[in-house]
């Protein structure tokens, strides 16, 4: 399979006409849909149309440049997930905010209240006058804010305060270790002196996950565009896609498993547990009509 390009879209389609065994992980990993189905990924190399539905591009501020004095106050919007890192994000924000103001930023702070809220907030800021829209949280927060901004010329900044922070780490943004954020100033410096980079995303379409006691079924969002198949949902991936292991890991996290462990170590334990009970699945991949 070719490397993912900036204009790569992926559709995740449910095929009910063929029954191929789908082994559901152990019930302790969360209640999943218990039906046999085939999972297929259809990959289309589509041109970037520039529309909100299919534009796969996002502008991200990364890579600190040589420092220069800030002469004017820049207005930024910060979208804070107060539940990130088991609530530690709120305490760390209290340390970040003075550093941001000292750097010359005028801050409009938005706090999320539910899953998907950051996406809605970001979509509402697409045409605002903020220089930056900053995701303050972990990978989930970054994903929602990026989804809301995707296809616009609004620049995404990241203050990583989650447990994993894989996306920030992949782009060289300093991340916390344990309960401490030793290079907090480095993350602020990137927002001040960073350069803006155009990055790509991957379109994923498929049937929604079922309701779960700790995680409601996902709902459509206008910023993601319309599905090609009625009843499906569309999501955009900015880092990676897999066959469901990551979803199981996140679900176990929401259930409170390994709650006393923080940071990346928690995800290591969750991933090991998920993989131990994971059963291989069958699927098909079609690229531009050829399988």
For 197-236, write each residue's pLDDT tens digit: 988 888 888 888 777 787 778 899 999 999 988 988 898 9
All residue ranges of the chain with pLDDT < 70 are 1-56, 64-73, 281-291
Q: What is the pLDDT at residue 32?
A: 35
| Cα distances (angstroms) measured from residue 213 to each of 114, 171, 253 | 15, 35, 13
Helix (H, G, I), strand (E, B) or coil at 77: strand
29-48 exposure pattern, b = at least 16 Cβ within 10 A, e = fewer: bbebeeeebbbbbbbbeeee
How far is it, in rounded angstroms, from Cα 50 to Cα 52? 7
* pTM for this prediction: 0.75
First to last CA, the chain: 11
Chain region(s) in the chain for CATH 3.40.50.10330:
58-199
Which pLDDT belongs to residue 291?
Answer: 63
**The predicted structure's pLDDT at residue 283:** 60
Instruction: Find the helix packing angle between 117-124 and 139-149, rounded to 10°.
Output: 40
Which homologous superfamily does the CATH classification assign to the domain defined by 58-199? Probable inorganic polyphosphate/atp-NAD kinase; domain 1 (3.40.50.10330)
Q: What is the pLDDT of residue 210?
A: 79
Task: Assign 273 to helix, strand or coil.
Answer: helix
Written as one string, the DSSP assignment of 14-43 is EE-SS----PPPPGGG-----S--EEEEEE
Q: Decide: 134 and 157 in contact? Cβ < 8 Å.
A: yes
Between CA 139 and CA 43 the distance in angstroms is 24
Paired tokens of 285: 């991949």
Q: In 146-166, which positions are buried (b, 16+ CB within 10 angstroms) versus exposed (e)?
A: bbbbbbbebbbbbbbbbbbbb
Query: Which tokens hold the place of 67?
Result: 């420092």
**What one-character DSSP code corresponds to residue 149?**
H
d(CA 121, CA 243): 29
pLDDT of residue 107: 97
Angle CA 185–99–113, to nearest 5: 100
């Amino acid at each position: 399979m070719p490397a993912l390009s900036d204009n790569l879209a992926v559709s995740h389609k449910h095929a009910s006409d063929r029954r191929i065994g789908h082994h559901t992980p152990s019930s302790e990993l969360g209640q999943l849909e218990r039906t046999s189905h085939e999972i297929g990924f259809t990959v289309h190399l589509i041109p970037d149309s520039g529309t909100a539905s299919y534009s796969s591009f996002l502008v991200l501020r990364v890579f600190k440049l040589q420092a220069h004095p800030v002469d004017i106050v820049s207005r930024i919007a910060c979208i804070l997930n107060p539940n990130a890192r088991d609530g530690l994000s709120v305490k760390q924000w209290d340390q970040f905010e003075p550093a941001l103001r000292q750097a010359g930023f005028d801050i409009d702070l938005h706090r999320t209240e539910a899953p998907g809220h950051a996406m809605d907030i970001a979509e509402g800021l697409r045409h605002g006058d903020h220089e930056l829209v900053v995701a303050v949280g972990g990978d989930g927060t970054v994903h929602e804010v990026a989804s809301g901004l995707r296809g616009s010329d609004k620049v995404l900044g990241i203050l990583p305060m989650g447990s994993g922070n894989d996306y920030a780490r992949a782009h060289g943004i300093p991340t916390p270790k344990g309960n401490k954020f030793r290079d907090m100033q480095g993350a602020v410096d990137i927002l001040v002196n960073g350069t803006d980079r155009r990055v790509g995303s991957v379109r994923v379409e498929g049937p929604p996950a079922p309701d779960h006691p700790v995680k409601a079924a996902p709902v459509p969002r206008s910023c993601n565009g319309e599905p090609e198949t009625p009843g499906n949902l569309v999501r955009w991936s900015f880092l990676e896609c897999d066959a469901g292991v990551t979803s199981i890991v996140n679900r176990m996290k929401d259930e409170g498993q390994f709650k006393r462990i923080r940071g990346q170590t928690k995800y290591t334990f969750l991933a090991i547990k998920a993989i131990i009970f994971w059963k291989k699945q069958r699927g098909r991949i079609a690229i531009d009509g050829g399988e």
